[in-house]
Amino acid sequence: MSEVFYQKFQSLFQREQIRIKEPLSKHTTFQIGGPADLFLLPEDEKQIAGAIKLCKEENVPFFILGKGSNLLVSDKGYQGVIIKLAENFSRIEIEGNKVTAQSGASLSDMAACIADSSLAGFEFASGIPGTLGGAVTMNAGAYGGEMKDIVTDATVLDVNGNIRFLEKDELRLGYRKSIIQEEHMVVLSASLHLEKGNKEEIKAAIAELTRKREEKQPLENPSAGSTFKRPEGYFAGKLIMDSDLRGYKVGNAQVSIKHCGFVVNNGGATALEVYTLIQDVIRIVYEKQGVRLEPEVRLLGEF
């Protein structure tokens, strides 16, 4: 990456908002990933739009990163610009039954604020380790709830750099998909409609879901959450278990013994080991069960 290109970003960002060769293992829940050529921490829409505009003008690849909770980054890292929207872009506002938040707001932080405001309907998302932007983009869901149940609209940046306001129907939220994902848009903020409830009951429901997650999911190991999409009519974890793959290993990557739908990093796993394990699971499950699994985890970089 040229010095001239780097200097152009210096006119948009403060020094502490720009990092060179930042290890992406520090920014993914897998704790895996090589360095990014350039790593940016924008604090407002102008900086986000400006960064994307510069990348397009210079024909440099870029990627919008949240909490890195559904991502496997190559050991070689990312040859381009990472634009991180997390703590640096995470304002939450609550007015009546309406919650509006910037895309970098973590779902756990939102759940706490929402519960304190005695609003119900967001409990399902309380333990999902991601940001609002990623959750809307992927229509994240858990324990019978999905973002499409509560999202009313979103403000996005389209591929041409235009800020657009999309109503719920325009978002086309489906199972782990949306128009945002399909058309490579960037979520800037989103609004939710929730119902008034009892604060203590809401917090009790969140605590119960947390207990279930801790009991059933391998939260003690770095992972990207559920590794595979749910095939229609099946459960990915059961297909993997029935294929005798519980505990299956490639290096330090492993199919969780606790929940076969999770691939975990046992400590020091490489992206290649995780990727190889995922491909092995897909192949073996298809051979034994006749069902082809599809990864839910996104890949970034060269594999």
Domain spans of the chain, in order of start: 3-87, 90-201, 218-300
pLDDT digits (tens, 9 = 90+) for 107-117: 999 999 999 99
pLDDT digits (tens, 9 = 90+) for 223-278: 999 999 999 999 999 999 999 999 999 999 999 999 999 999 999 999 999 999 99
The fold for domain 90-201 equals 3.30.465
Which class in CATH covers the domain with range 3-87? alpha beta
Name the pTM for this structure.
Answer: 0.88
- Nearest alpha carbon to residue 224 among 280, 278, 276, 184: 278
From the list 43, 58, 170, 296, the catalytic residue is 296
| Radius of gyration of the chain, Cα coordinates, nearest whole angstrom | 20
pLDDT digits (tens, 9 = 90+) for 21-72: 999 999 999 999 999 999 999 999 999 999 999 999 999 999 999 999 999 9
Active site residue 296: yes
Active site residue 91: no
From the list 226, 230, 243, 273, the catalytic residue is 226
Which class in CATH covers the domain with range 218-300? alpha beta
Token readout for 148 is 């499409």
Active site residue 176: yes
Average pLDDT in the chain: 95
